[in-house]
Amino acid sequence: MSFKNIRAIPSPEAIRSLIPLDAELSALKQKNDKHITDVITG
């Protein structure tokens, strides 16, 4: 089974430029990312 791409899938950077994240949500994401990194690295 195969499929045909009708158009290219946008990159994450392209999506972020089209739909910017609110500053409050961006800060929350950075905080959560730090917690996840701390858990993984020990």
Q: In the chain, what are the domain boundaries? A: 12-41
CB–CB of 30/23 below 8 Å?
A: no
What is the C-alpha separation between 30 and 25, in angstroms, rounded? 9
- Which H or E run contains 22? none
Q: What is the pLDDT of residue 18?
A: 94
Q: Which residue has the tokens 């858990």?
A: 39
The pLDDT tens digits for 1-42 are 788 889 999 999 999 899 988 999 999 999 999 999 999 998
The pLDDT, as a whole number, for residue 12 is 92
pLDDT at residue 41, rounded to an integer = 94
H-only helix segments in the chain: 12-18, 23-41
Three-state DSSP at 2 gives coil
